[in-house]
Amino acid sequence: MLPIAEDANAYLNMLLKAPRSGAAEIYAYYDHRVGVIGTDPALMLLPLDDHLVHRGDGVFETMKFVSGKLYQLDAHFDRLIFSAQSIFLEPPCPWKELKEMVLDVARAANQEQGMVRVLLGRGPGGFGIDPEECPASSVYIVAYKLHPRPESVYQKGATASRCSLPAKKGLLAKIKSVNYLPNVLMKREAKQGGWDYSLCFDDQGFVAEGIVENICLVDGQGRLVVPELNNALTGTTLMRALDAVKGEVPVIFRQVREDDLYLAREVILLGTTIDALSVVRYNKKPIHDARPGPISKRMRQFLLQDLLENGTPL
């Protein structure tokens, strides 16, 4: 029979003794209900009755900071606002105040580089499905360790495969919700197959996106081709990286089939943690000469410099 805690202090003592994997990754966190920033990972908790937890009723954004500068804060918040409004969710505080909270938590990390994730949920209030159970929405912010890829990864390039799972559809693909089960299964499949990354396709056979990355390619004519974002998240890194080649390389948005990948000069993945990374082998077949290409390199250097020049200082 399970023991019952005598009081809150008894439960808290047991909580502090409970094992916590990944504790070394956590720098600082914030729960809007509590109202203060914490730094002890043992106390970083979510209420079980928050609909964000048991219904996936919430949205999130993840940002990085490097050299004391947070990258693309405004772009990430624009997407967070879009995601939240798409599911009729408002934060428990003004958006401007929430943005300042993210900066405060990043500062509290007291690190030169790291990640910051902000989660906006329907809030605690019950275990049903009706949003009206929740009297107030929830906000959780956490700063944690960044694991940048070693330079050798960019010099060598990455491998990718076609995922057996279909792409998310329509609006659900455009909302950055906390329901990332399809992405989790994509990651699992890629690892089991021995690939670095995985690409999903829509039901018409067109390329959608990677596990948590956007994709683009350089075609045989030297044009930068971006798969139409009908069934993919509009990536902040992707949209910023396009500025790296603006006016130099023609950029077109169109539907992309798998054969286009095999014929490409470059296949490039773009995301917050990787910036721009070349895929040099897809489904075991080489992409062009199986080496990272010049457009991928240019994009990455642009993004690294852009963070240093235009990131929000902490």
Last residue of a domain, one of 144, 165, 193: 144
Rounded CA gap, 24 and 42, in Å?
11
Query: Quick one: 307 and 162 in the same domain?
Result: yes
Q: In 150-256, at which residue ranges do the beta strands (DSSP E only) sit? A: 158-166, 197-201, 207-210, 214-218, 224-227, 251-254
Query: Quick one: 204 and 94 in the same domain?
Result: no
The arithmetic mean of pLDDT across residues 160-181, rounded, is 96
Tell whether 1 is covered by a domain: no
Confidence class of residue 149 from pLDDT cuts 50, 70 and 90? very high
Query: Quick one: 296 and 198 in the same domain?
Result: yes
Tell me which residue range forms the domain holding 253. Answer: 151-312
Q: Scanning the structure block, which residue is given the tokens 């199986």? A: 290
Tell whether 2 is covered by a domain: no
Last residue of a domain, one of 94, 116, 144: 144
Query: Which are the contacts of 79, defined by CB distance < 8 A and separation ≥ 6?
Result: 61, 176, 234, 236
Last residue of a domain, one of 144, 170, 191: 144
> Which CATH number covers residue 196?
3.20.10.10
Neighbours of 218 (CB within 10 A): 22
CB 232 within 8 A of CB 183: no
Which run of H or of E encompasses 38?
strand 37-38
Query: Quick one: 34 and 85 in the same domain?
Result: yes
pLDDT at 92: 98
Total structural domains within the chain = 2
Q: pLDDT tens digit string along 35-70?
A: 999 999 999 999 999 999 999 999 999 999 999 999
Query: Quick one: 116 and 200 in the same domain?
Result: no
The arithmetic mean of pLDDT across residues 144-167, rounded, is 97
Q: pLDDT tens digit string along 178-212?
A: 999 999 999 999 999 999 999 999 999 999 999 99
pLDDT at 235: 97
Assigned token pair, 287: 């992409």
Query: Quick one: 69 and 193 in the same domain?
Result: no
Tell whether 39 is covered by a domain: yes
- The type of residue at 76 is H
Query: Quick one: 132 and 160 in the same domain?
Result: no
The arithmetic mean of pLDDT across residues 129-142, rounded, is 97
DSSP string computed for 101-148: HHHHHHHHT--SSEEEEEEEE--BS-SSS-GGG-SS-EEEEEEE---P
Query: Which are the contacts of 124, defined by CB distance < 8 A and separation ≥ 6?
Result: 47, 49, 50, 51, 134, 138
pLDDT at 7: 96
Tell whether 3 is covered by a domain: no
pLDDT at 24: 95
Q: Scanning the structure block, which residue is given the tokens 């989790």? A: 184
Query: Quick one: 290 and 155 in the same domain?
Result: yes
CB 80 within 8 A of CB 290: no
Rounded CA gap, 126 and 211, in Å?
32
Find how far residue 184's CA is from the centre of its chain: 12
Tell whether 178 is covered by a domain: yes
Rounded CA gap, 241 and 41, in Å?
35
DSSP reduced 3-state for 149: coil
Q: pLDDT tens digit string along 291-311?
A: 999 999 999 999 999 999 999
Query: Quick one: 15 and 139 in the same domain?
Result: yes
Query: Quick one: 210 and 271 in the same domain?
Result: yes
Query: Quick one: 135 and 175 in the same domain?
Result: no
Tell whether 158 is covered by a domain: yes
Tell whether 27 is covered by a domain: yes
Tell whether 63 is covered by a domain: yes
What is this structure's pTM? Answer: 0.96
> Which CATH number covers residue 136?
3.30.470.10
The arithmetic mean of pLDDT across residues 155-180, rounded, is 96
Query: Quick one: 130 and 160 in the same domain?
Result: no
